[in-house]
Amino acid sequence: MQTRREFQADLQNLYASVRIRSAPFHTLFMRPDHIREVVRILRREIRQWPVPAIGHYVETPFTVLISCILSLRTQDKTTNAASERLFAIAATPERMLATPVGTIERVIYPVSFYRVKSRTIHAISEQLLTRYKGRVPSRMEDLLELPGVARKTANVVLGVAFGKAEGVVVDTHVQRLARRLDFSREGRPEKIEVDLMKLFPREQWIQLGHLLIHHGRALCPAQRPKCAECPIEDLCYSEDKLVASRASAKHRGNA
């Protein structure tokens, strides 16, 4: 496993290598040259943004998996603090299973659904010890059998912990950005993932998710996207821009 510093350095290097390839016409809506320009700009801009919470806990596949579980529907600041507290008392499946669920609840609070996540973490630890000798599996099908692990989490673990690209991480940010940038017109995450996998080569799937997640968090949230500050504004034709423009005009009018 990499150290935290090595992971962050490698992540920046991955951003620098993102490239686009041609795709079948029926999967590609934004012009290929525009997609290349979008990626080029985001690749440059992402260097100034902080590494996400998952990048701070890469000492072992287990810490990657558990910090990913904690991050679901939770802001990075809260995830980082909770992960730090939890791994200080239990950073292995053995130690985690020996820690009472109630203690885990208190330690990870106030992450979203902290009670559910505490039970999930306990169940994951038990299954790892029972079925995998305490090791996090490195196959997609095995990861998906773990409690609380869906394809998004499995893709994160495979990419970050094992350097394996089985797909593209599609969280709410990637889902939103893929549609706004016209990389995909699908609504379901699994279909958006398929479109992204067709547009980008396998060796770029790991970093692509990070690229879009960073931009979504920094400048393109679901509500009130910061179009005036966005470096790819002139390449984006999302209908949400009209909403953002109207909201900005209304704010100026009320000032």
Residue 171 annotated as catalytic: yes
The values of phi and psi at residue 154, to 5°, are -60, -40
> What whole-number distance in Å separates Cα of residue 181 and Cα of residue 50?
23
Look-up of token digits 């869906």: 150
Closest by Cα among 147, 13, 136, 139 to 64: 136
Q: Please enumerate in sequence order all residues whose Cβ is within 8 A of that of 203, keeping only pairs 6 or more positions apart, or say none.
A: 165
User: Which of 117, 152, 182, 195 is flagged as catalytic?
Assistant: 152
C-alpha span between 220 and 173 (Å, rounded): 8
* Sequence-ordered alpha helix ranges (H) in 20-100: 32-45, 61-71, 76-89, 93-98
Rounded to whole angstroms, the Cα distance separating 206 from 18 reads 10
Q: Is position 152 annotated as part of the catalytic site?
A: yes
Helix (H/G/I), strand (E/B), else coil: 186? coil
What is the spatial distance between Cα 108 and Cα 82, in angstroms, rounded to a whole number?
A: 5
Measure CA 198 to chain center: 19
154 closest CA partner among 113, 199, 189, 119: 189
Q: Give CA–CA dist 68/47, Å, rounded.
A: 22
Out of 117, 133, 171, 240, pick the active-site residue: 171
Q: What amino acid positions are annotated as catalytic residues?
A: 152, 171
